[in-house]
Amino acid sequence: MSRRDTLSLDEFALAARKQAVRGDEDRGSDLVSTDPNSDRTSPDRSDLRQEARKALRRMKRERVKGQSCFVNVNLDRPTKRRLKLAAFHDDTTMQAIVEAAIVKYLDELGL
C-alpha cells in the first residue's frame, strides 16, 4: 500500500456526540425524557421504570407460554415439493399443513 492509498482521520466526516442527560445512570434508557422543560426528579420516572419492568416480565411470560416445540422431519424431495405446492395453492404455511396432518393422524389412533 503506497502513501497515497492511506487515509487520514481528517478525511472522514464525524457526527457530534449526543449529550447525556445529567443524573441518568442508564445511558441507553428509552424512558429518559429529552424535553428540557420536564422535571427530571419526579417520582413518575421510577413508576415508569417499574411499569416497564412488569411489562417486560409479562411479555417474556407470554412468549414462553406460546413457545412451540420443533420437530425435525426428513422429507424426500417429491414429498417436500408436494407440500410446498399445497401450501402455495391453499395460501397457508407448510407448518400448518404438517401440524393438521399430525393431529389428524393422532386422533385416528386415539392418542
Question: Of 79, 83, 106, nearest to 96 (Cα)?
Answer: 83
DSSP assignment letter at 40: T
- Would you state the pLDDT for residue 77? 96
Which segments of 18-93 does DSSP mark as H helices, in order?
44-65, 77-89
- Would you state the pLDDT for residue 14? 72
- Would you state the pLDDT for residue 75? 92
Classify residue 66 as exposed, middle or buried by CB count within 10 Å of its CB (0-12, 13-18, 19+).
exposed
Distance between CA 11 and CA 2 in Å, rounded?
Answer: 17
Domain boundaries defined on the chain: 77-109
- Would you state the pLDDT for residue 71? 82
**Residues of the chain under the 50 pLDDT cut:** 1, 27-29, 31
